[in-house]
Amino acid sequence: MKKFLFPILLVACLGACDSLKNDTSTATEPQALEFGSMRYGDICHTALTQLAKGETDAFISNFAENIIYRFNNGDSIVGKDAVAAYWKDRRTNVIDQLEFTNDLWLPLKVNDSEQGVRQGMWVLGWYKATSTYKTGKSMNQFIHTLYHFDSNDKVDEVIQYLDRLPIQQANTK
């Protein structure tokens, strides 16, 4: 999958750049979608680094009080305190070691929500997660995560796409 990700992103970026070049609209008319500041990608990267180190308070420091943390299987955690409790428990009682590598961040600003995407700053992240569990077993997989920032530059929504099976297998003795 990794081999195909870069070409797909490159084609998407070139297509976006080409459409901007041929755009005849006035400068005051906002685009439906535009590249965002890499500062947001850096915030997400730093947060994952903190989670890997077990610094859960630092990890959640950029989360809004009303954050919704969604998983692709339909589960979700609502509220900063609940998200903090979940990750503190995972890092203390479930996961021994955690590492994120091969990360890629794409900040995008959505100005038009006609396609059903929430307006505002989004960061799309792709990375490899390698973890060793208290069972002594390990797993690694690529994870895709979306982060939405509110008007105060706090993360108010996280949507995480991962495969639960390798995690469940690594957690069984």
Phi, psi (degrees; rounded to nearest 5) at 118 = -60, 135
pLDDT score of 119: 92
* Residue 42, C-beta contacts closer than 8 angstroms, at least 6 positions apart: 105
Total-model pTM: 0.81
Domain locations in the chain as residue ranges: 45-170
| pLDDT at 20 exceeding the cut of 70 | no
Q: Count the Cβ atoms, other than its own, within 10 Å of residue 17.
A: 11
pLDDT in tens, 47-92: 999 999 999 999 999 999 999 999 998 999 999 999 999 999 999 9
Whether CATH 1.20.81.30 fits 45-170: no
Mapping DSSP to helix (H, G, I), strand (E, B) and coil, where does residue 121 land?
A: strand
